[in-house]
Structure 1
């Protein structure tokens, strides 16, 4: 190998080899700027923005996932746009309009396929992750929600109108579909646990949730907290909770209650209720710090200027503060030392130490909403 080293060194000295800049993606993230159809590329360690990537269409309810190598983000716009964004070159690599109204997506566990769930015309469409060529179209006759990736090159999603969950296996040329009925009235969102075992849907048409054990050969619906609001006056629902923001803290789930000022605690094994915590308002996200010791909660309009922090041992609120008007989303750094908070109407992303609760920085952003760090590339369901 000495001859190779010598040749490279000689070439560099003579100018025939040009040094190339190296971009490490593990410390990066994207902030959705919903009003301007743009993304802000940010650096976690420097607490700084690096670039603005424009031209992504309607991002009013946008989400995104990352390729396994963290280089590419796949952005799902409300206008049906599917955009592939290159974080290294800081540009849109490819963009297609695949439907009239989309509501999120997922990437397969091997990174080869990207799936998008649609309100209009409904159904799920699946694309080659490299080219964005469509490889499968799965019509459902219903708005589809709660689309997640599952181990084994599968996607799981739920039908709002029909109250069914479908499992699509993409290991052959044609998708193999398993349909599960009886999931409940108007399921509105869903999550999958990090081990890929439990898929849980929230219900809008009735109080309660429904779970599926995906390790079973023939999964059957499991009712969770049926009638949790029975005997209580339900409040107007100003914004539906986002179930991707449900927390699993230790052995328990922490779930936002629809139409109530509280979060619900559920045993992760038995799915039985273990407690409730009264909150400032109707929770939108209830997100666990990576170590599971805290849950950070934000709220629906008109109480959306506030964040509460719940200790998961005592199930009590231990801190409350007001970052500013319209707190839309939170994202923890991978080890949980900081949390980044989008404050839409202040035009800021604010950064806090999760131990001291002190603000450690802020970044200007245009109507920021979702914050997505590249560490999501290595987690099922994100």
Structure 2
């Protein structure tokens, strides 16, 4: 184990059983992808508080929080669903529910946790308290883009068949399933707006995206930016962009382009293109500061040492810097005065002021990737 990890471990040896309860609103978790652990951090102190181990394969991991911010549900690549108690700083429960999982969501009332799977495919839904299986929804396809929607609903999309399904649990644990076909070729990820109305999936097999109006009685596919790369040479795709890191400034969406060095601007009402910004590399995350004035963008290998900041009024890059090798994820503090950045190959999380761009702190972490603050507990789709 690396020397810095040993040093950090020594400083965090206050065991989970002896940790004193603390308020959760200022806390967050950082995925340590190589070690199968998560690092509990404090935003105000810009410090690590504890390491929680034993979460399995976190090489591609995400998490959601319970409404009271006490529990995190961590979705691992190995199909593991781990319930972490961030007050006692220990694993509360864990099940391995599939062979290869790709993310999950929690229902708006906090009672159901859903996991989308590559192997065997489909979605499995669990009781948030006990992690008992309450519903198994086979789809015959790799399942991606799983989000929560208002009314105890989950929305998800199939890579192989190009369908989106809505699973409605409003009447219990036997869901009503609505199937929407013809979403496009090889959908790879999806997002839902904060009001729960618009669901957008990106397409890997063709240029463009597809949207659904979930307020419609019968949602129908809406083509967004069809052929946006037409006439351009598409580049090799080294890492798929993440629409879950989408930017929404109120009037516009800012979305990463697949196979191009661009972010795309889309009118949030009409879903028509309003502009493009050339970027340093192929965008992975395009994330809006909470006030919507800036969008921070990171990039795919081999240009993943760089971040660009785009002003959403001018649509121009206003700042560029290189935090270090393999910048994987960003997370804003709830009001956006700071951003935390995971730099995997430097084994550190860096904290920056979003107005001055000054680096404020470095926090040692073992191959960090996703950063998740508890404020996510109160936002649809996160």
The TM-score with structure 2 as length reference comes to 0.94
Matched, 1:109 2:108: yes
Q: Deviation per CA, 1:116-159, whole angstroms, max 9, x where unpaired?
A: 00000000000000000000000000000000000000000000
Match of residue 327 from structure 2: 327
Q: 1:170, 1:197 → 2: CA distance?
A: 17
In structure 2, what is the equivalent of residue 79 of structure 1? 78
Counterpart for residue 43 of structure 1: 42
Q: Could you say which residue in structure 2 is the equivalent of 1:11?
A: none
Partner of 1:274: 274
**Distance in 1, Cα, partners of 2:100 & 2:317:** 38
Counterpart residue number, 1:23: 22
The match for 2:5 is none
> SS of the residue aligned with 1:370?
strand
State the shift of 1:174 in Å.
Answer: 1.1
Superposition deviation, residue 250 in structure 1: 2.5
Residues 375 and 148 (structure 1 numbering): CA distance in 2 closer, same or farther, change over 3 Å?
A: same
Tell me the distance in 2 between the aligned counterparts of 1:163 and 1:345.
35
Instruction: Report the equivalent of 1:142.
Output: 141
Partner of 1:61: 60
What pairs with 1:1-382 in structure 2 (closer than 5 Å)? 22-172=21-171, 173-382=173-382
Higher gyration radius (CA): 1
CA distance in 1, matches of 2:103, 2:255: 20
SS in 1 for 2:212: strand
- Which whole-Å CA distance do the structure 2 matches of 1:362 and 1:371 have between them? 14
- The residue number in structure 2 matching 1:9 is none
Tell me by how many angstroms 1:185 deviates: 0.1
For residues 44 and 78 of structure 2, the distance between their equivalents in structure 1, rounded to whole angstroms, comes to: 33
Distance 2:31 2:131 in 1: 21
Shift of 1:23: 1.1
What is the CA-CA distance between 1:327 and the residue it aligns to?
Answer: 0.1
In structure 2, distance between residues paired with 1:246 and 1:72: 25
Q: Deviations over 1:172-209 (max 9, x none)?
A: 24110000000000000000000000000000000000
1:21 deviates by 5.1
Task: Using the TM superposition, give the Cα deviation of residue 171 of structure 1 relative to its aligned residue in structure 2, in angstroms.
Answer: 1.8
CA–CA distance in 1 between the matches of 2:174 and 2:350?
A: 46
Ranges in structure 1 where 5+ consecutive residues have no aligned partner: 1-19
SS at match of 1:244: helix
> How large is the Cα RMSD of the aligned pairs?
0.8
Runs of 4+ aligned residues of structure 1 deviating over 4 Å after TM superposition are: none
- In structure 2, distance between residues paired with 1:306 and 1:115: 34
Deviation, 1:22, is 4.5
2:192·2:198 contact (CA, 8 Å) conserved in 1?
yes
Local SS of the residue matching 1:126:
strand
Deviation at 1:249, TM superposition (A): 1.1
Q: TM-score, normalised by structure 1?
A: 0.94
CA displacement 1:255-294 (0-9 Å, x = unmatched): 0000000000000000000000000000000000000000
What residue number does 1:16 align with?
Answer: none
> What is the SS of the residue equivalent to 2:50?
strand
